[in-house]
Amino acid sequence: MNKKERYAALIEHFQVAMPEAETELRYGNPFELLVAVVLSAQCTDKRVNIVTEKLFQDFPTPEHLANSDFDSLFPYIRSVSYPNNKTKHLLGLGKMLVEEFQSEVPQTVNELIKLPGVGRKTANVITSVIWHQPNMAVDTHVFRVSRRLGLAPLTAKTPLEVEKHLIRHIPKEHVHQAHHWLILHGRYTCLARSPKCSACSITHLCKHFERGLRAKRKKDPLPLTPSDDNPKP
């Protein structure tokens, strides 16, 4: 199976298996998603959703963040990873949205990455989820699953390298959803330490699984079976 065939087969599979795949972060508008994604860095979506329930009630707009301070905001997000830095990021993000973007979340990656706490991955998430732009956010799940499946080569050592491979081969109309397909597959099936290969329905398309089979056969070769030319004595 060549790369083009592998991509086509996986897209076809996920379209059937995960037709409604979407982010598991809870949000009601672009501003809320932006805040949630900033908080989700090296933190679980489950934890972020717990935190943002109260946060969004008391800080529903960029103005609320812009007019707040560290001591007021920190208690809301103290249970997420790196709360000190993220508190500072959200305060700066709110001020910049108000002062430079008329309190609107910008719609381009180049503008979004100007915001405190927003890198390329976060910007790609916002633009793909909200506006279905063909941008691919590569987090730890997408990075791992893409290389295991064979969508990106093992020689791809950075998220940007993997992103370029995925963007090159996935049709534009599927990119925004492919991000969720790969994340969810990595989160629930293709786990980092113990992938659930026995419960996976795409092992026949997976290079990692194929390599494992080859290694096992090399270590424990199958016994020769009798044939018509070599009858059993």
Lowest mean pLDDT among 54-58, 133-137, 226-230: 226-230
Structural domain including 127 reads 30-131
Does 43 belong to an annotated binding site? no
Catalytic residue list contains 121 = yes
Q: Per-residue pLDDT for 18 more than 60?
A: yes
Identify the CATH number of the domain in which residue 90 sits. 1.10.340.30
Residue 26 confidence (pLDDT) above 50: yes
Q: Which two tokens stand for residue 7?
A: 């991509």
From 20-34, 183-197, 207-221, the region with the lowest mean pLDDT: 207-221
Domain count for the chain, please give it.
1
Predicted TM-score (pTM) of this structure: 0.87
Q: 206 among the known binding-site residues?
A: yes
Element of type H or E holding 211 = helix 207-219
In the prediction, which pLDDT does 220 show?
61
Average pLDDT, the chain: 92
Residue 226 included in any domain: no
**Mean pLDDT (whole number) for 173-199:** 95
Alpha helices in 27-119 (DSSP H): 30-39, 45-58, 62-66, 70-77, 83-100, 109-112
Please tell me whether 190 is known to bind a ligand.
yes
Catalytic residue among 69, 121, 220, 232: 121
Annotated catalytic residue 46: no
Pick the catalytic residue: 3, 71, 86, 139? 139
Answer whether 51's CB lies under 8 Å from 80's CB: yes
